[in-house]
Amino acid sequence: MKLSMVGTGYVGLVTGTCFAEMGNSVICVDIDENKIENLKNGIIPIYEPGLEAMVKENHAKGTLTFTTDIKEALEATDVIFIAVGTPQGEDGSADLQYVLKVAEEIGKHMTHEMIVVDKSTVPVGTADKVKETIQKELDKRGVNIPFHVISNPEFLKEGSAIEDFMKPDRVVIGAESEKAMEVMKDLYAPFTHNHERFIAMDVRSAEMTKYTANAILATKISFMNEIANICERVGADVNKVRIGIGSDSRIGYSFIYPGCGYGGSCFPKDVQALNKIAQDAGYEPRIIQAVEAVNKDQKKVLADKVVKRFGEDLTGKRFAIWGLSFKPETDDMREASSITIIDELTKRGAKIRAYDPKAMEEAKRHYLKDNPNVEYTKSKYDALDGADAMLLVTEWKEFRSPDFDEMKQRLGQPIIFDGRNQYNMEKLKKKGFEYHQIGVPEV
Ligand SMILES: NC(=O)c1ccc[n+]([C@@H]2O[C@H](COP(=O)([O-])OP(=O)(O)OC[C@H]3O[C@@H](n4cnc5c(N)ncnc54)[C@H](O)[C@@H]3O)[C@@H](O)[C@H]2O)c1
Ligand SMILES: O=c1ccn([C@@H]2O[C@H](COP(=O)(O)OP(=O)(O)O[C@H]3O[C@H](CO)[C@@H](O)[C@H](O)[C@H]3O)[C@@H](O)[C@H]2O)c(=O)[nH]1
């Protein structure tokens, strides 16, 4: 099939590349000239395991091409995906300006019948807005070209995006047009043929499915963080409670890991967008509001523990931070808990030495660029030298089994605040560490 992908970010680049890998011909479009130029030269804008090799291979074969010209893409293809950002607007709602701008461009330049697939996460009713926008442009041109707008929300996770896309739990398509639904079935057949994973529905339900999936996952995390906060106040250990409940298959083990809050480009904005969708429809969504409120506080919990241990004034103190990205296996810093934690510590006078396997450039360039109290180190151990404590914020694999003897030698004081409950409490205590976790009573 001949496809275009508008927006070559995490979703667009991964989706376009995976479709090309399955033998389709894909044109990726982005307004960011620098990004497109880099992609043409084999420079990948994001870190995502397995992506670079796949992009280069398909680009070399000519099945994956890059352009800033949507006109060229519209002329050469029959299906166009919209995969641009839908960031949080000032009132919490999803900002649709990028999606509608693409719709406008489609209406201005389409030359033949097109299937327009919305892959961005958008509020219920957006497909209608996309349709109206395209139609308005066609009317201005005085042409009558048929088109179908359908919804195909994306469920991939950063850090395992290729794997998630290649082996999806499900593919959700919302479409009113049978013709468009059949085209989508054919397109996704190589990804869904082993099991019945293709789920067809109406457009509005498909749009709502995406927000519901993210909101329930975020709810599990905030719920478990709340349980963790209760556990440590009543002398229970959330690590044991987690295993105790996960063994019930109705509850399950996934997404019940407590920690220093959820981040990323999706949960924070999508939970708030769902709140706004509900309010606009005249409903006050109390659970969803609580999920967001608990998460906001949870991002401060690790810093609160440091303050409780060292006092409000942290002048003259230095802390090592292990992990900056919002989760392992990505360089994405959007809404990362590390930003809140570092801000809480440095505003009280502390200095930070941070290490992350992939996200330090991103942190330096954007997210922590205005904070002069943060230094970056070449290795995880270098961050420890003389520090008053180490804070583990992101559970990268290389932090899972560190050399605790070297850590003890390097740290000024053998103190660890673990925001992801990675180590064995008894063993660390025997080695002479003071070790703090989330949801475990302080002794
Ligand atoms: N990141 C994820 O893991 C993930 C997963 C599922 C769904 N989503 C959703 O997918 C959408 C895209 O997210 P993302 O993380 O890939 O975003 P992103 O910010 O990484 O990428 C968006 C890209 O769109 C480009 N763009 C903006 N306007 C454009 C235009 N008019 N024409 C062409 N290109 C344009 C930008 O330059 C950018 O490269 C969002 O709605 C998001 O909520 C994201
Ligand atoms: O038990 C858990 C699981 C996750 N997290 C945190 O939750 C955040 C999000 O993690 P994850 O869901 O793995 O990453 P994302 O790449 O943001 O993926 C989510 O958001 C995407 C964008 O909408 C969806 O497509 C995915 O299905 C959905 O999992 C991270 O900060 C994690 O540290 C926890 O604190 N505890």
Give the per-residue pLDDT at 327: 96
* Amino acid (one-letter) located at 80: I
Give the confidence band of 443 by pLDDT, cuts at 50, 70, 90.
low
Q: 168 pLDDT exceeds 80?
A: yes
CA of 213, closest atom in ligand 2: 27
**Catalytic residue from among 18, 231, 260, 266:** 266
Average pLDDT over residues 317-339: 96
The pLDDT tens digits of the residues spanning 32-50 come to 999 999 999 999 999 999 9
- Count of helix runs (H) and strand runs (E) in the chain: 17, 14
Q: Look at 269 and 367; give whichever has higher pLDDT.
A: 269
Q: 310 pLDDT exceeds 70?
A: yes
Please answer whether residues 104 and 142 qualify as being in contact, where contact means their C-beta atoms are separated by less than 8 angstroms. no
Residues 6+ apart with CB under 8 A from 110: 74, 134, 138, 145, 147
Quick check: CB of 151 below 6 Å from ligand 1? no
Give the per-residue pLDDT at 193: 78
Q: Calculate the CA 286 to chain-centre distance.
A: 24
- Dihedral sign from CA coordinates of 333, 422, 227, 249: positive
Q: 442 pLDDT exceeds 80?
A: no
Pairwise CA distance, residues 396 & 420, whole Å: 10
Quick check: CB of 228 below 6 Å from ligand 2? no
- Residue of 160, 243, 266 with the most ligand 2 atoms within 8 Å of its CB, for mutation: 266
Quick check: CB of 423 below 6 Å from ligand 2? no
Average pLDDT over residues 160-183: 96
266 assigned to active site: yes
The pLDDT tens digits of the residues spanning 191-233 come to 987 678 999 999 999 999 999 999 999 999 999 999 999 999 9
Q: What angle do CA 36, 41, 43 make, to 5 degrees?
A: 75
Please answer whether residues 279 and 211 qualify as being in contact, where contact means their C-beta atoms are separated by less than 8 angstroms. no
Residue having the nearest C-alpha atom to atom 8 of ligand 2: 262
Quick check: CB of 157 below 6 Å from ligand 2? yes
The pLDDT tens digits of the residues spanning 235-272 come to 999 999 999 999 999 999 999 999 999 999 999 999 99
Please answer whether residues 6 and 29 qualify as being in contact, where contact means their C-beta atoms are separated by less than 8 angstroms. yes
Residue having the nearest C-alpha atom to atom 36 of ligand 2: 257
Quick check: CB of 155 below 6 Å from ligand 2? yes
Instruction: Measure 90 CA to ligand 2 centroid, in angstroms.
Output: 23
Quick check: CB of 346 below 6 Å from ligand 2? no
Residue having the nearest C-alpha atom to atom 22 of ligand 2: 266
Instruction: Measure 101 CA to ligand 1 centroid, in angstroms.
Output: 13
3-class DSSP state for residue 440? Answer: coil
Average pLDDT over residues 353-382: 95
Pairwise CA distance, residues 173 & 182, whole Å: 10
Pairwise CA distance, residues 364 & 357, whole Å: 13
Pairwise CA distance, residues 300 & 340, whole Å: 7
Instruction: Measure 384 CA to ligand 1 centroid, in angstroms.
Output: 36
Q: How far apart are the first and last CA of the chain?
A: 62
CA of 265, closest atom in ligand 1: 1
Instruction: Measure 121 CA to ligand 1 centroid, in angstroms.
Output: 9
Q: Calculate the CA 400 to chain-centre distance.
A: 22
Nearest Cα neighbor of 408 from 430, 424, 426 is 430
Quick check: CB of 11 below 6 Å from ligand 1? yes
The answer to whether ipTM exceeds 0.90 is yes
Pairwise CA distance, residues 39 & 407, whole Å: 40
Pairwise CA distance, residues 15 & 12, whole Å: 5
Residue having the nearest C-alpha atom to atom 36 of ligand 1: 7
Residue having the nearest C-alpha atom to atom 15 of ligand 2: 157
Pairwise CA distance, residues 148 & 273, whole Å: 26
Q: In angstroms, what CA-CA distances link 339 with 265, 307, 324, 366?
A: 14, 17, 8, 11
Residue having the nearest C-alpha atom to atom 6 of ligand 1: 154
Residue having the nearest C-alpha atom to atom 43 of ligand 1: 121
Quick check: CB of 154 below 6 Å from ligand 1? yes
Quick check: CB of 86 below 6 Å from ligand 1? yes
